[in-house]
């Protein structure tokens, strides 16, 4: 492609809307253009990148016997109501765009396709002889993000590969799950990215187990905990570990102490000269279930630890049936305004005890009349601890469970794992932390959707049985931007060769110099003929502008028909490290073709 004929515009300054390097660079280099909040046009260079990523994904899916199809973006609400997710996705989380058609029917724009594919399988699969089956699509998806940001990382429309598998047994599912895991590793390796598979929470998709594939990057929204021996890695939402040991309490007698202006752990420690690990802090949450009922949750946890909201929400979902619900649709720390709707008097926030009286709760139809009291494992084992006194400016010291406070009935793991915690598999291994961008997520769904939607098959015994399912997603557009986030410098993007829009760019410093143009034309034709996808910068621009643009857009190899021509050579520059070589003209094509072949192997 000749740049003189391409719709190609670059920017010298960072756009004000962009927050992270990859977003800034994709806008500056003319790869994407913003149309609205979280909505982008993929310009010709970007579309080539996305096509290459898609083809790598397609290759690896086909290699494990997955069959490509294309499902509708518009999905009837009835399917989502069958699965029980319509209200969760349109009202609670609110991430699904929904509309009403002219026949007054509710429709959603698909953020995911579990319901559609389950309906297809329900209609077409009858016998165990038809199983297992794995199907995938590469499709535009939609999410009504509360705050679209970071370009293609968190947009409202994006490209994704989603695959779904159907099985007769859990063993069959696990085999396909492992195949998908290996295929994802191959995809990310082929695209040239540094990544780490991690244990993950299944979230709204559900299922028994899942893993995320994280591209390592400082700007990543996710925190990863891992061990140096490579035996453990998990998203912070899912991570489990052994916390550092608690330091002993300096108090042995249970008594109330005046602790003015100590509403934070740090202030309590300073006032009482005690370690944070000797404190039991009590955090109040308000959980709302899908039936509209709410419960006030008092979580007691060690003072040097924090609550993991995802773990807490999962624990509460398991208790939802006790309150007439099936899942938690909202979990918040109630502010003063929210407290006023149910509290009989002002709460002594910052000084709450594990025995906060239920009398604080008004008798209301939509609020449970008693606090749900959960004690994290870190707090359950403490002795002679310090905690709030349910009285402003006062704390209790020397407290013990079973004597001074009721012995915990519900002990849970809702702690946020921290760097420095001890690994469960080997306590000599301390967890380390890194930032990552979630690129892929694979799930063992089990029979969650097939049971809800009556997707069954006849087994070998002639009995009806729900199909066992898995689902497997990878963000195509997100992967492309993640490559930029992981590989750039002060001059611009450094694309991995396998997904670069072009492998090489031929730059003519002076288009009025006949010798330069002739050599460039020849190399442009020969490189393309040799399978090296090549751009030709034949624009009537200064050489410096062309060099800056070639670095900004990140083409892996630059060929310059400049001063070295007098010696029968051209300058070849490697974008990845800036290395410059003067190469004889008749050797250039073979050299770059070999580099490309090696990088894409």
Among 295, 438, 315, 460, smallest CA distance to 377 is for 315
> How confident is the prediction for the chain on average, in pLDDT?
95
Concatenated DSSP letters of 115-164: HHHHHHHHHH--BGGG--EEEEEEEEEE---SS-BTGGGB-SEEEEEEEE
Reported as a single tens digit per residue, the pLDDT across 315-333 is 999 999 999 998 888 899 9
Reported as a single tens digit per residue, the pLDDT across 126-143 is 999 999 999 999 999 999
Distance CA 569, CA 516 (A): 11
pLDDT of residue 31: 98
pLDDT of residue 22: 96
pLDDT of residue 16: 87
Reported as a single tens digit per residue, the pLDDT across 425-455 is 999 999 999 999 999 999 999 999 999 999 9
Could you please state the CATH topology (level 3) that the domain comprising 255-412 is classified under.
YbaK protein (3.90.960)
Lowest mean pLDDT among 205-209, 263-267, 545-549, 559-563: 205-209
Distance CA 308, CA 207 (A): 20
Local confidence band at 544 (pLDDT 50, 70, 90 cut-offs): very high
**Does position 19 have pLDDT exceeding 70, yes or no?**
yes
**Does position 308 have pLDDT exceeding 90, yes or no?**
yes
**DSSP secondary structure code for residue 463 in this structure:** -
Local confidence band at 290 (pLDDT 50, 70, 90 cut-offs): confident
Over the range 423-455, which residues count as b (16 or more CB within 10 Å of their CB) and which as e?
beeeeebebeebebbbbbbbbbbbbbbbebbeb
Concatenated DSSP letters of 36-58: ETTEEEE-HHHHHHHHHHHHHHH
Do the bridges between strand 504-507 and strand 557-560 make them parallel or antiparallel, or are there none, so unpaired?
parallel
Task: Please give the C-alpha separations between residue 541 and each of 508, 514, 544, in angstroms, as whole numbers.
Answer: 10, 16, 8
CB-based contacts of 417, cutoff 8 Å, min separation 6: 225, 234, 236, 239, 240, 241, 308, 431
Concatenated DSSP letters of 491-510: TEE---GGG-S-SEEEE-S-
pLDDT of residue 211: 92
Among 579, 571, 567, 554, smallest CA distance to 508 is for 571
What is the mean pLDDT of the segment spanning 67-82? 97
Question: Do 11-240+433-484 and 502-599 share a fold?
Answer: no
- Whole-structure pTM value: 0.87
What is the mean pLDDT of the segment spanning 40-67? 98
> 468 with 446: CB under 8 angstroms?
yes
Distance CA 103, CA 105 (A): 6
Local confidence band at 473 (pLDDT 50, 70, 90 cut-offs): very high
pLDDT of residue 356: 96
> Is 120 exposed, middle or buried, given 0-12, 13-18 or 19+ CB atoms closer than 10 A?
middle
Percent of all residues in the chain with a pLDDT value above 90, rounded to a whole number = 91
Percent of all residues in the chain with a pLDDT value above 70, rounded to a whole number = 99
**Does position 99 have pLDDT exceeding 60, yes or no?**
yes
pLDDT of residue 203: 61
pLDDT of residue 207: 57
> 250 with 274: CB under 8 angstroms?
yes
pLDDT of residue 88: 82
What is the mean pLDDT of the segment spanning 266-280? 97
Reported as a single tens digit per residue, the pLDDT across 360-418 is 999 999 999 999 999 999 999 999 999 999 999 999 999 999 999 999 999 999 999 99
CB-based contacts of 114, cutoff 8 Å, min separation 6: 83, 164, 205, 445, 449, 469, 471
Task: Please give the C-alpha separations between residue 175 and each of 186, 283, 386, in angstroms, as whole numbers.
Answer: 17, 42, 50
Could you please state the CATH topology (level 3) that the domain comprising 11-240+433-484 is classified under.
BirA Bifunctional Protein; domain 2 (3.30.930)
| CATH label, 502-599, candidates 3.40.50.800, 3.40.50.720, 3.40.50.300, 3.40.1160.10 | 3.40.50.800
pLDDT of residue 581: 96
> 480 with 539: CB under 8 angstroms?
no
Reported as a single tens digit per residue, the pLDDT across 179-236 is 999 999 999 999 999 999 998 876 655 556 789 999 999 888 899 999 999 899 999 9
Domain segments of the chain as ranges: 11-240+433-484, 255-412, 502-599
pLDDT of residue 206: 54
The two three-digit tokens of residue 482, written as one number = 């993640």
Q: Is 42 left (phi over 0), alpha (psi -120 to 50) or beta?
A: beta
Concatenated DSSP letters of 342-408: TBSS---TTS--TT--GGGB---TTB-SSPEEEEEHHHHT--SEEEE-SSTTEEEEEE-BTTTBPPP
Read off φ and ψ for residue 202, nearest 5 degrees.
-80, -15
The two three-digit tokens of residue 132, written as one number = 């297992």
> 387 with 276: CB under 8 angstroms?
no
pLDDT of residue 595: 97
């Amino acid at each position: 492609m000749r740049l003189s004929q391409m719709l190609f515009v670059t920017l010298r300054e960072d756009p004000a809307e962009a927050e992270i390097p990859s977003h800034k660079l994709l806008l500056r280099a003319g790869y994407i253009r913003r149309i609205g909040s979280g909505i982008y046009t993929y310009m010709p260079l970007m579309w080539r990148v996305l096509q290459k990523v898609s083809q790598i994904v397609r290759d690896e899916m086909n290699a494990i016997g997955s069959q490509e199809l294309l499902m509708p973006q518009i999905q009837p609400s009835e399917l989502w109501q069958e699965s029980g997710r319509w209200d969760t996705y349109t009202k609670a989380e609110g991430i699904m765009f929904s509309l009403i058609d002219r026949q007054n029917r509710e429709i959603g724009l698909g953020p995911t396709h579990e319901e559609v594919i389950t309906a297809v399988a329900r209609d077409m699969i009858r016998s165990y002889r038809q199983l297992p089956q794995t199907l995938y699509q590469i499709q535009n998806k939609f999410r009504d993000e509360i705050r679209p940001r970071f370009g293609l990382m968190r947009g409202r429309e994006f490209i994704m590969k989603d695959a779904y598998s159907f099985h007769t047994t859990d063993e069959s599912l696990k085999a396909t799950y492992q195949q998908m895991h290996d295929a994802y590793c191959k995809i990310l390796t082929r695209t040239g990215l540094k990544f780490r598979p991690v244990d993950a929470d299944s979230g709204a998709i559900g299922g028994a187990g899942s893993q995320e594939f994280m591209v390592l990057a400082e700007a990543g929204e996710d925190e990863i905990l891992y061990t140096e021996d490579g035996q453990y890695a998990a998203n912070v939402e899912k991570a489990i570990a052994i916390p550092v040991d608690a330091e002993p309490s300096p108090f042995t007698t249970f008594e109330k102490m005046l602790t003015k202006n100590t509403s934070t752990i740090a202030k309590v420690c300073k006032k009482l000269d005690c370690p944070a690990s000797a404190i039991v802090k009590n955090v109040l949450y308000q959980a709302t279930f899908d039936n509209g009922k709410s419960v006030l949750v008092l979580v007691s946890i060690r003072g040097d630890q924090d609550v993991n909201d995802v773990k807490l929400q999962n624990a509460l979902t398991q208790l939802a049936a006790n309150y007439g619900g099936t899942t938690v649709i909202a979990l918040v720390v109630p502010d003063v305004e929210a407290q006023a709707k149910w509290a009989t008097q002002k709460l002594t926030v910052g000084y709450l005890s594990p025995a906060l009286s239920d009398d604080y709760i008004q008798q209301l139809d939509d609020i449970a009349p008693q606090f749900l009291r959960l004690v994290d494992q870190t707090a359950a084992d403490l002795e002679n601890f310090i905690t709030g006194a349910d009285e402003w400016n006062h704390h209790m010291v020397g407290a013990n469970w079973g004597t001074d406070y009721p012995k915990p009935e519900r002990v849970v793991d809702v702690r946020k794992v921290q760097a420095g915690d001890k690994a469960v598999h080997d306590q000599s291994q301390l967890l380390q932390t890194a930032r990552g961008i979630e690129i892929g997520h694979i799930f063992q769904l089990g029979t969650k959707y097939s049971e809800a939607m009556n997707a069954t098959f006849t087994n070998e015994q002639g009995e009806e049985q729900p199909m066992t399912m898995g689902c497997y997603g990878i963000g195509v557009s997100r992967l492309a931007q993640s490559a930029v986030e992981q590989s750039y410098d002060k001059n611009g993007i450094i694309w991995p060769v396998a997904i670069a829009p072009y492998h090489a760019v031929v730059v003519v410093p002076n288009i009025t110099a006949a010798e330069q143009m002739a050599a460039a034309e020849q190399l442009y034709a020969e490189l393309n003929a040799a399978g090296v996808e090549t751009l030709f910068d034949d624009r009537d621009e200064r050489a410096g502008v062309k060099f800056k643009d070639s670095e900004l857009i990140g083409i892996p190899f630059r060929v310059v028909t400049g001063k070295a021509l007098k010696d029968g050579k051209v300058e070849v520059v490697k974008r990845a490290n800036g290395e410059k070589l003067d190469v004889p003209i008749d050797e250039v094509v073979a050299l770059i073709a070999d580099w490309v072949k090696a990088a894409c192997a």
